[in-house]
Amino acid sequence: MANETTRRFFIGAATAAAASRVWGANDRINVAIVGIGGRGANHLNVYSKLPGAKVTGLVDVNQAAREVAQATLLKNTGEKAKEFVDMRQAFADPGIDAVSIATPNHWHALASIWAMKAGKDVYCEKPACYNIHEGQMMMKVRQETNKMLQIGSQHRSTPFKIKGMAALQGGIIGKVYEAKGLCYKRRVSIGHKENEPTPPGVDWDLFLGPAPLRPFNALRFKYNWHWFWDTGNGDIGNQGVHEMGIARWGMGDPEFPKTAVAFGGKFGVEDDQETPNTLTASYDFGGRQLVFEVRGNLTNGEGSTPARRAPANGDAPPKAPASLSVMVGNLFYGSEGWMSMNDAGYQVYKGESSELIAEEKPEARLDTTRLHMENFLDAVRSRRYSDLHDGINNAYQSASLCHLANISYRTGRKLNIEAGPKFTGDAEATRMLTRPVYRKGYEV
């Protein structure tokens, strides 16, 4: 069935892919949302309130999710949209101009590729790709089709973070020698569940798509798919990829490092989760490094200002400036000081005394997802890929660092990386650049 659907889809898509439209400044772009059970609900709320967009398609393998989305759309706009179980039907619809993908990670590449080949521009949630091979294929098809492909790294459209990164790259703390990403997000145990019959209204075969065929299990569905290797990448590829992207940004967005090593495990819980809840990764970029930590258990934060030294005459040291302790965010260390950044703002400290010299807080009620989607729609109109704040070519690099950490963790050794990328003398790690096998009809 998958092969026949794909064949019909690509026959119909050939005409759509050849079409090109010139957009006026006031034209509304018809958007289909693919995956509307979790993050996709946020996509729906944003697009349905943007004056430059109209939600004309709702795609999900779960009938209940489509029903909830239709009710939300009706409340927001007074209108309903077409419903689709199979995304290929939406991509073949000439009434849809762009798609916004909020599926599980294992669908990001194939959904984006199919959509671009069908002539659609694409906004796809992070991480850019489920594995490194899939990211390479996404870039290849984007170049061939000349479609827009924005990744949902909304930090790249956040005004105070843009300002902070400009200051960092302008030398406010001197030469950056280390960027550190923190993902200390509490994750409680998911427990154990037995396989069960697929619930009514759920197309489990389509949900799995490129992943291996397995019996339905509730823990592999709704959100917890993040913690299984078939469909997710653990928290480093979930919340963590945001902080990984910011760490790279602060370093000037370098490409692949010379080496990558990661270690950790699933500590403190006994459940069905496969991915680690504790992970430390380090990347050597030659003369500077990037360090990343995941902690899903209870922990303190980092980034508190150190106490100042007492003066030589024995007087009490002056009070150190207050600093926000970072749980999910970034720290940057330079030759002249350091910076702390998270969603509450950033602070810059200078010199031996850690003097606070600059800080910025976000504007109240700032919807960064809306800003990022507006940037995507602007690029759809301009047809300039360079207008995107985090197009696939850059977002792929951030996602790849997460994948390198997982490969090192799963092989249990340090990776020596060559261009491509490929790993020096490590066939096992090289095989993990992609899936061992893709299901027929869902190959990337």
Residue 15: per-residue pLDDT: 45
Of 118, 120, 103, 123, which is closest to residue 37 (Cα–Cα)?
Answer: 103
Q: Answer yes or no: is pLDDT of 1 > 50.
A: no
Tally the C-alpha atoms within 13 A of residue 232's C-alpha that lie toward its C-beta. 21
Residue 314: per-residue pLDDT: 52
Residue 303: per-residue pLDDT: 87
- The mean per-residue pLDDT over the stretch 300-317 comes to 62
User: What CA–CA distance (Å, rounded) separates 42 from 370?
Assistant: 10
Residue 139: per-residue pLDDT: 98
pLDDT exceeding 70 applies to what percent of the chain?
90
Helical H runs in 201-336?
Answer: 204-208, 240-250
Q: What is the CA radius of gyration of the chain?
A: 23
User: Helix crossing, 2-18 with 108-117: angle to 10°?
Assistant: 50
User: Helix crossing, 240-250 with 392-411: angle to 10°?
Assistant: 110
- Predicted confidence (pLDDT) per residue in 417-437, tens digit: 998 899 999 999 999 999 999
User: What CA–CA distance (Å, rounded) separates 104 from 92?
Assistant: 21
Residue 419: per-residue pLDDT: 86
Bigger pLDDT: 312 or 176? 176
- Predicted confidence (pLDDT) per residue in 375-434, tens digit: 999 999 999 999 999 999 999 999 999 999 999 999 999 999 998 899 999 999 999 999
Q: Answer yes or no: is pLDDT of 311 > 60.
A: no
Of 308, 265, 311, 302, which is closest to residue 410 (Cα–Cα)?
Answer: 265
Show the 3-state SS of 327-349: CEEEEEEECCEEEEEECCEEEEE
| Residue 348: C-alpha distances to residues 173, 248, 280, 340, 343 (Å) | 8, 18, 25, 7, 15
Q: Answer yes or no: is pLDDT of 321 > 50.
A: no
User: What CA–CA distance (Å, rounded) separates 316 from 26?
Assistant: 63
70 phi/psi in degrees, rounded to 5: -60, -40
Residue 356: per-residue pLDDT: 95
What is the distance between the terminal CA atoms of the chain, rounded to a whole angstrom?
18
Sign of the C-alpha dihedral computed for residues 136, 23, 48 and 13 taken in this order? negative
pLDDT exceeding 90 applies to what percent of the chain?
87
Q: Answer yes or no: is pLDDT of 22 > 60.
A: yes
Of 343, 332, 387, 346, which is closest to residue 368 (Cα–Cα)?
Answer: 343
Residue 25: per-residue pLDDT: 63
Q: Answer yes or no: is pLDDT of 4 > 70.
A: no
65 phi/psi in degrees, rounded to 5: -65, -40
Domains in the chain, CATH or no CATH each: 2-156+367-391 (3.40.50.720), 159-360 (3.30.360.10)
Residue 79: per-residue pLDDT: 96
210 phi/psi in degrees, rounded to 5: -70, -15
The answer for 324, left when phi > 0, alpha when psi is -120 to 50, beta otherwise, is beta
Q: Is 19 exposed, middle or buried (0-12, 13-18, 19+ CB in 10 A)?
A: exposed
- The mean per-residue pLDDT over the stretch 165-170 comes to 97
Sequential DSSP letters for 150-201: EE--GGGG-HHHHHHHHHHHTTBTBSEEEEEEEE-------------PPPTT
Q: Answer yes or no: is pLDDT of 138 > 70.
A: yes
Residue 20: per-residue pLDDT: 57
Sign of the C-alpha dihedral computed for residues 70, 73, 78 and 79 taken in this order? negative
Bigger pLDDT: 7 or 145? 145
Tally the C-alpha atoms within 13 A of residue 335's C-alpha that lie toward its C-beta. 6
Average pLDDT, whole number, for the chain? Answer: 92
Helical H runs in 265-391?
Answer: 368-382
The answer for 191, left when phi > 0, alpha when psi is -120 to 50, beta otherwise, is left
User: What CA–CA distance (Å, rounded) separates 202 from 164?
Assistant: 45
Residue 24: per-residue pLDDT: 65
- The mean per-residue pLDDT over the stretch 210-238 comes to 97
